[in-house]
Amino acid sequence: MSLLPADIDDILDNFGHLLCSYPGLQKEKSVYAEFRRDTKRLEVLFPLKEHPEHGITGLHAVENYNEAGYVKLYQYHWKIIIPKMGVQLNHISGWGNDPHNAEWTPEKYRVKTEPHHHHYDPNDRKKRTDNYDVRTLEAAFKFIAPYFDSGYPYVPLVGVKQEESKV
């Protein structure tokens, strides 16, 4: 399955209501706290409106493209962006397809959907589970949107699809 690059205009049309600008974060008058795109890579940080439980968060997206223009590597992280904290402390949820299938990888971190995985535990970014649903930036926004629409905190539900949870 070839993954297409993120359509930023489409993302803004569909999920712009989740975005917010914060003083000192955005560059000039842009909605993005960070944005870089060329033929090989996309890196963008979307600052999100304040969540009642998680505070000021953002969706950080990185896509690396192959010669044909398809996504060869993706990482999408929902994380706390204010105040700045370390990688483990700012983590809420994340998805990626960076491979973790080396022979020395502990069994508890291996997933059936390798290399696609979900860093589901806000308290332990090392934990990974299968990832069937979030393989694009649009899917990452679809995953987090209900938490903003409802105000509910993210609670990891390993083995339960999002639509089966109360969010």
* pTM beyond 0.75: yes
126/119 Cα distance (integer angstroms): 7
Please list, in sequence order, all residues whose beta carbon lies within 8 angstroms of the beta carbon of residue 79, skipping any fewer than 6 positions away.
57, 58, 60, 90, 91, 92, 94
Residues present in the chain in total: 167
Q: Per residue in 10-67, pLDDT tens?
A: 999 999 999 998 876 655 555 566 788 999 999 999 999 999 999 999 999 999 999 9
Alpha-carbon span 18 to 132, nearest angstrom: 24
